[in-house]
Amino acid sequence: MKLLVPVKRVVDYNVKIRVNPDGSGVETSNVKMSMNPFDEIALEEAVRMKEKGVASEIVAVSIGTQQAKETLRTALALGADRAILVDATSDPKQDIEPLSVAKILAKIVAEEKPDLVIAGKQAIDNDMNATGQMLAGLLGWGQATFASAIEISGGSATVTREIDGGLQILKVALPAVITTDLRLNEPRYISLPSIMKAKKKPLEEKTLADLGVDLTPRLRIVHTDEPKQRSAGMRVGSVDELIDKLKNEAGVLS
């Protein structure tokens, strides 16, 4: 079984982001960048499938700038066999919309013919939570989003999904698209030898012209602002004072 794992390069989740005061966006130069945490989980799941003998090959794909090669090297170090960079923009500030990403991935799927695509449920920069579902729609494949457990057998995947109120288990015929939730697994640390080995693994580059996808965005970002800040609160000294404030000042308890 062949697996395709799309990985996005995003501002590291530990970075306290800064919004440019002119409303032009979020400051991304000189900040630490990493693989989107959900994609790390997707890749870890793929590697575990390979270790169990369920999967035979893992292809990681990233769509973005040349810098996304770093993310792909990380993917190779984590255990992907090959990597594909789709060089889609030279502007690191341009975020490529999920619809375009899904269209590009659909082209890659047509070439690579994977049995399963495992994507993250959401990119932690744009917080869209859309690409996997869109890709499944474009391909006419089944989808299982927000996965916290995956089992492959007999040409289908049984997936436990995290939904409001609890869990849903469904069985989806392969090929399919699965998106990962946080509790699916805990990604391993990358060892030094695997970083060295990753340098020898193939990393192929494609251009948009190769794929023939129109990237014209459907959404125009007018401006990006800081969220409303909360005004500073107060310290209370005791439980009695807290209850008094909640009842008589805030009026949220009676």
Partner 1 sequence: MTVLLLAEISQGHLVTDHVARALSAVSALGEVDVLIATDQGGADAAAQAAKLRGVRKVLLCEAPCLAHGLAEPVAALVKSVAEGYSHIVAAAATYGKNILPRVAALLDAMVISDVTAIKDGETFERPVYAGNAVQQVVSSDPLKIFTVRTASFQPAPEGGSAPVELVSAPADPNLSTWVEDRIVVTERPELTSAKRVVSGGRGLGSKENFDAIVRLADKIGAAVGASRAAVDLGYAPNDWQVGQTGKIVAPELYVAVGISGAIQHLAGMKDSKIIVAINKDEDAPILKVADYALVGDLFAIVPELSKKL
Ligand X SMILES: Nc1ncnc2c1ncn2[C@@H]1O[C@H](COP(=O)(O)O)[C@@H](O)[C@H]1O
Ligand Y SMILES: Cc1cc2nc3c(=O)[nH]c(=O)nc-3n(C[C@H](O)[C@H](O)[C@H](O)COP(=O)(O)OP(=O)(O)OC[C@H]3O[C@@H](n4cnc5c(N)ncnc54)[C@H](O)[C@@H]3O)c2cc1C
Query: x/- binding map, residues 166-195, to partner 1, per CB under 8 A?
Result: xxxxxxxx--x----xxx------------
Query: x/- binding map, residues 109-138, to ligand Y, per CB under 6 A?
Result: ---------------x--------------
- How far, rounded to the nearest angstrom, does the alpha carbon of residue 136 sit from its chain's CA centroid? 15
Residue closer to partner 1 by CB (options 209, 234) is: 234
CB distance 206 to 87 below 8 Å: yes
- SS3 of 124-151: CCCCCCCHHHHHHHHHCCEEEEEEEEEE
- 28-47 residues labelled b (16+ CB within 10 A) or e (exposed): beeeebbbbbbbbbbbbbbb
Nearest-approach distance from CB 177 to partner 1, in angstroms: 10
CA distance 207 to 63: 10
Nearest-approach distance from CB 158 to ligand X, in angstroms: 21
| CA-angle at 39, arms to 38 and 44, nearest 5° | 100
State the CB neighbour count (10 A cutoff) for residue 242. Answer: 12
CB distance 60 to 40 below 8 Å: no
Binds ligand X (CB under 6 A): choice among 79, 120, 142, 175: 120
Confirm or reject binding of residue 26 to partner 1 (CB under 8 A): yes
Sites for partner 1 among residues 109-168 (CB under 8 A): 121-122, 124-138, 140-146, 148, 158, 161-168
Nearest-approach distance from CB 1 to ligand Y, in angstroms: 27
Nearest-approach distance from CB 35 to ligand X, in angstroms: 9
CB distance 43 to 17 below 8 Å: no
The one of partner 1, ligand Y, ligand X, none whose footprint includes residue 246, by CB under 5 to 8 A per kind, is partner 1
The one of ligand X, partner 1, ligand Y, none whose footprint includes residue 110, by CB under 5 to 8 A per kind, is none
Residue closer to partner 1 by CB (options 200, 225) is: 225
Sites for partner 1 among residues 84-103 (CB under 8 A): 97-99, 102
